[in-house]
Every structure is written in structure tokens, then in C-alpha cells.
Amino acid sequence: MRDAIVVGSSAGGVRALRGLLHGLPKDLAASVVVVNHIPARGKSDLPLLLASAGPLAAKAVEDGESMKHGAIYVAPADRHVVIEKGRLRLTRGPRENRVRPCIDTLFRSAAVDLGPRVIGVVLSGTLDDGTAGLWAVKDRGGVAMVQQPSEAEYPDMPESAIEHVRVDHVLPVADMGAKLAALASEPTPPGVPPPPAMAAETQIDLHGRALDKGVLDLGRPSPNTCPACHGALVEIREGNLARYRCHTGHAFSLRTLLEETEVAIERSLWNTVRVIEERSFLLRSMERQARDKGNHELGRRLAAAAERDETHAQGVREMTGKPAGAG
């Protein structure tokens, strides 16, 4: 039976999740595990919101608990959910796609542990978390389902999944519950051992020690470095997907790596503005001291140097795309 349903969502995802869960039967012969991107701080009310959406009980994942049919398990804040030997594990491993919990982390571990028993569902959200995980689900014989992009509040995640994965079903959320219930009763094809690289990534997600788990053997070296820790990155190819993972375990899709690079560039530019302006302040202070002592020639040279720095700082500010005085 296809008795493990893993669902990923982000921006606009709560409404989509409630719509999906509303259509599930109370006797669903499957477990449902949900990752929705939420802030790292504070307690999430998502289990309560999802429990009131339909007939199934919902709760936050507890480390080590087994998966029961007819129950909804929700990832808590600031923890990845990994499936290992049919149990739900919580880890605070390195962020993947800049988030924790991460959809790809859950989906990949489900694919490794449960193979063709898994149904992966990608709902509304920005960027592309869930795409690589859904690819893993399909690669291991599972079923891929995606929210109709035209219906999603934020269609990026559904569109990315459709672009890169051989998706089986593209549906509005109102139709997903009945379809998932039907799929859960279908027999599954025989499973095969997961690819070593996929299994290694799940071990990294679960236990850390990426170097010991062979992270550098997962792909070819990348000229980029990890924007989170500045460690070496390897490029991982799966179908037409390119992903990146560093030797400490941080992982990025191509789009999230680009986003992080843009953030790093802006941070570097603002640091440059700060250093130039600090030098300008020092030069202005030295200018005042020189003029107070009657050394006007030195004061003139110091003022000219300060003006050059101020011009350079303004030029760097303009590179950030923000006017002077903007934060």
C-alpha cells in the first residue's frame, strides 16, 4: 500500500493544506507528514489549524515516534523531520534551501526509507523547496502530486516541481483528498535499494558528519563556496536538477544558492560602504585638528581625501540599488 503521504508547503501553504486535509476520509489507510516553512522562533499553531480542517487528528512530530495510519504529523519549528525505519526523527542539522524544517529533507528520507509506499505532494510556496525531494520520491517508485499552479497563492514551488519532475497528478487542493485516499489503497510495486548517494544524504541529514558520510563523493567540486559557512561545495546532478551541498552539510538548490549569493553581495557592499565612511570620518577629524593648529595645507589635503572617500561610498551605495540614507 502507498501508506506514507508527505506534504510540503510554504507561502500560502496553510490555506492549501487545510483544503487538502478537508477532503481526506477519517479512515485513511495512510500516515500524513507535513512540512510547512515557519519561523524558527516560537511555538507553531499549525497542528491546531490543521486538526480543525478535516476529520483527522494532527499533532507536532515527536522524536522517535512511529507513524500511524489516519494521523497527521506536523514538523515543529527549527527542526528537520527525517523518516528512519518507519519512525519520525527530529534533527537540528544544517539548513537546506535556507530553511529548517526543509521539505526536500523529509521527502528524500521518505523515499530512501519507504520507497514506492510514498506519495509526495507539493503545495503553494516561493522558490523551489520540494522539487529535489519529489524527484527522489519518483526515482524510488513513489507517486508525485502537485497543486494546480494557477490555483496556488504562490505558484513557484508547484511550477518548479512540474518543470523538473515527471509529476503524476496536478490537481486543485479540493480534489486531492479523494485522490490520495484512492492512491493509498493501491498495491505498490516491489522496492529496490536506494542509490548510495541518496542514502548518504539522508544519513547526513540525520546524523551530521557530512565528511565522514562521503559528502565530497556526491558530485563534482563547485567553484562556489557555501554562503552559510564558506565551506567547499559539491554539485549534485539528478535528472535535469542541479543541487549543492557543502562539507559541513548545508544544502542548496540552484535558485536558493543564487538567492544567498545575492544576499552575500549586498552584505559585502554595505560592509564596504561602512569601511569607506569610517575612513572618511577619521579624515574629517584629522582635518579639523590640522586646521585648529593652523596647518591649512594639511587640512586641505585631508578634506580632499575625505571627499574622495565620500564619493566612492556613494558609488557603492548606488550599486546596492538603494539611495543614500536607506537601510
pLDDT at 65: 98
**Which residue, of 138, 156, 184, is where some domain finishes?**
184
Q: 162 and 13 in one domain?
A: yes
Q: 267 and 178 in one domain?
A: no
Q: 180 and 99 in one domain?
A: yes
Domain membership of residue 278 (yes or no) is yes
pLDDT digits (tens, 9 = 90+) for 223-266: 999 988 999 999 999 999 999 999 999 999 999 999 988 888 89
Mean pLDDT calculated for residue range 184-193? 89
Give the DSSP per-residue string, 18-52: HHHHHTS-TT-SSEEEEEE---SSS---HHHHHHT
pLDDT at 121: 98
Question: Is the pLDDT score of 213 beyond 90?
Answer: no
Task: Count CA within 13 A, CB hemisphere, residue 11.
Answer: 9
**Which residue, of 129, 153, 184, is where some domain finishes?**
184
Q: How far is the C-alpha of 97 from the C-alpha of 276, rounded, in Å?
A: 33
Residue 134: domain span: 4-184
Closest by CA position to 249, among listed 272, 224, 229: 229
Domain membership of residue 15 (yes or no) is yes
Reported confidence tier of residue 152, pLDDT bands at 50, 70, 90: very high
Q: How far is the C-alpha of 54 from the C-alpha of 265, rounded, in Å?
A: 45
Question: Is the pLDDT score of 125 beyond 70?
Answer: yes
The backbone torsions φ and ψ at residue 34, rounded to the nearest 5 degrees and listed phi first, read -115, 130
Residue environment code for 268-290, b if the CB has 16+ CB neighbours within 10 A, otherwise e: ebeebbeebbebbeebbebbeeb
pLDDT at 212: 87
Domain membership of residue 203 (yes or no) is no
Mean pLDDT calculated for residue range 165-184? 98
Whether 185 is a known active-site residue: answer no
Task: Count CA within 13 A, CB hemisphere, residue 310.
Answer: 11
Question: Is the pLDDT score of 134 beyond 90?
Answer: yes
Query: Which entry of 104, 113, 129, 205 is annotated as an active-site residue?
Result: 129
Domain membership of residue 241 (yes or no) is no
Question: Is the pLDDT score of 325 beyond 70?
Answer: no
Domain membership of residue 325 (yes or no) is no
Question: Is the pLDDT score of 5 beyond 80?
Answer: yes
Domain membership of residue 55 (yes or no) is yes
**pTM (2 decimals)?**
0.87
**Which residue, of 160, 184, 208, is where some domain finishes?**
184
Strand partners, 146: 122, 170
- Structurally, how many domains does the chain consist of? 2
Q: 280 and 173 in one domain?
A: no
Domain membership of residue 141 (yes or no) is yes
Burial category of 172 from C-beta neighbours within 10 Å (exposed 0-12, middle 13-18, buried 19 and up) = middle
For position 100, which CATH number holds?
3.40.50.180
Q: 263 and 166 in one domain?
A: no
Q: 262 and 155 in one domain?
A: no
pLDDT at 323: 47
pLDDT at 191: 84
Q: How far is the C-alpha of 270 from the C-alpha of 275, rounded, in Å?
A: 9
Query: Which entry of 10, 109, 160, 280 is annotated as an active-site residue?
Result: 10
The 3-state DSSP class for residue 66 equals: strand
The backbone torsions φ and ψ at residue 137, rounded to the nearest 5 degrees and listed phi first, read -60, -45
pLDDT at 322: 57
Question: Is the pLDDT score of 165 beyond 90?
Answer: yes
Domain membership of residue 235 (yes or no) is no
pLDDT digits (tens, 9 = 90+) for 15-38: 999 999 999 999 999 999 999 999
Q: 174 and 262 in one domain?
A: no
Contacts of 138 (CB under 8 A, 6+ apart): 120, 144, 165, 166
Question: Is the pLDDT score of 196 beyond 70?
Answer: yes
Q: 264 and 145 in one domain?
A: no
Q: 159 and 21 in one domain?
A: yes
Query: Which entry of 3, 9, 37, 156 is annotated as an active-site residue?
Result: 37
Q: 264 and 174 in one domain?
A: no
pLDDT at 263: 87
pLDDT at 199: 94
Whether 27 is a known active-site residue: answer no
